[in-house]
Amino acid sequence: MKNLTFEQFNKADFTLYEKNPIIKNPAESFVIADPSVLTPEMCHDNKWHLFCHTFFGVYHYESNDGISFSKVAKITNRAMRPNINYIDGKYYLFYERTKPVILNALSLIGVKWKSEIYGTESTDLKNWSKPYLVLGKTQPFEEDEHGQALSNPYLMRKDDKWRMYYSCGQTFIKDCGFCEPRHINFAESRRITNGYLSRSAPIISPDKSIKHLNLCSGCLKVYELKDCYIGLQNGIFEENGKSHSAIMLLKSDDGENFEFIRHFLVPQKCGKSNWMAQYVYACCLTYYKGKLRLYFNARNVSNNLTGRESIGIYEAEVKDI
């Protein structure tokens, strides 16, 4: 997307795919979430590959058209919020690694959460290396009364370093009954897999005075355009006594200091379906053959027993890129 200007992106006419959601939550999990996608030119088999998580770990899906996906395999358990990368002939998968499911589930009754960012590697998307620690807690704001949380890794190249954006800390969302990420920060290293040094203060934190950010920060994905960086952030906010999440468009000259531009994708009812009525969460932006495509997950209602999360597409044709 480095040949795309901010004006081109901002004026692109995005619409929701009419047959959303493209991947519904499986019967054994209330959620399927946090899609991270490789387009065909990045892959050895010229297919689309999508990574996401359920209650039981990170899963791999594949597709010939980027719309109709079939499940390939479970990659690892104790894992959430994946980020897939293709770099110099190798696939790098980063994710939030948690304590065993039962222990983290007990966080609802006082057992503190603990998670860190781990990675695994592959050359064929089938055989994966032993998971390894990429980034653990180094800053005081990464831990709070709910425990320690580092999540939502997102890797990009910035000048001569690798920069990993990540979420950290937790805020309890009352009407959901679970926590969401409080801050957003980044860490940098000259190596892809280790040696990351975290910034000493978050780049985004909740602010009671900002309508779309009055609860917590969610996650951030950053993309380099021809003339700037853009951020797609799902801020989590309270409105009329209920929590919501929407994707915001941010702009930055340096990938560090971001300016809010506008709401990019907000909760809404789609025809007769309410699958994205209250929350629009994490996303992954792709460009392939003249089309920008945003993969995202959304939730119908806050209740942690009746709420369901699925994955959908928001897309636009782009000319002269």
The pLDDT assigned to 276 comes to: 98
End-to-end Cα, the chain, rounded Å: 8
Q: Between β-strands 229-239 and 90-98, what pairing exists: parallel, antiparallel or unpaired?
A: unpaired
Side chain identity, residue 28: E
The pLDDT assigned to 1 comes to: 87
- Helix/strand/coil for 244: strand
Do 285 and 219 touch, CB atoms closer than 8 A? no
Do 268 and 15 touch, CB atoms closer than 8 A? no
Q: CB neighbours (10 Å) of residue 214? A: 16
> What whole-number distance in Å separates Cα of residue 149 and Cα of residue 269?
32
Distances (CA, A) of 281 to 91, 147, 292, 307: 25, 22, 18, 14
Q: For 315, left (φ over 0), alpha (ψ -120 to 50), or beta?
A: beta
Distances (CA, A) of 313 to 18, 21, 271, 284, 287: 9, 7, 15, 10, 13
- Helix/strand/coil for 188: strand
Domains and CATH numbers, the chain: 6-317 (2.115.10.20)
The pLDDT assigned to 108 comes to: 57
Residue pLDDT tens, the chain, 321 long: 899 999 999 999 999 999 999 999 999 999 999 999 999 999 999 999 999 999 999 999 999 999 999 999 999 999 999 999 999 999 999 999 998 765 555 555 567 899 999 999 999 999 999 999 999 999 999 999 999 999 999 999 999 999 999 999 999 999 999 999 999 999 999 999 999 999 999 999 999 999 999 999 999 999 999 999 999 999 999 999 999 999 999 999 999 999 999 999 999 999 889 999 999 999 999 999 999 999 999 999 999 889 999 999 999 999 765
What is the arrangement of strands in the sheet containing 161-173, beginning at the earlier edge strand? 150-158, 161-173, 178-189, 197-198
Backbone angles phi, psi at 76, to 5 degrees: -165, 150
| Cβ-defined contacts of 209-213 (< 8 Å, 24+) | 210/235, 210/260, 211/237, 211/239, 212/237, 212/246, 212/248, 212/260, 212/263, 213/237
User: Which of these, 55, 43, 53, lies nearest to 104 by C-alpha position?
Assistant: 55
The pLDDT assigned to 110 comes to: 65
Cis, bond preceding 206 (omega within 30 deg of 0):
no
> What whole-number distance in Å separates Cα of residue 90 and Cα of residue 119?
13
The pLDDT assigned to 92 comes to: 98
User: Which of these, 253, 288, 282, lies nearest to 265 by C-alpha position?
Assistant: 282
Q: CB neighbours (10 Å) of residue 89? A: 7
> What whole-number distance in Å separates Cα of residue 197 and Cα of residue 231?
21
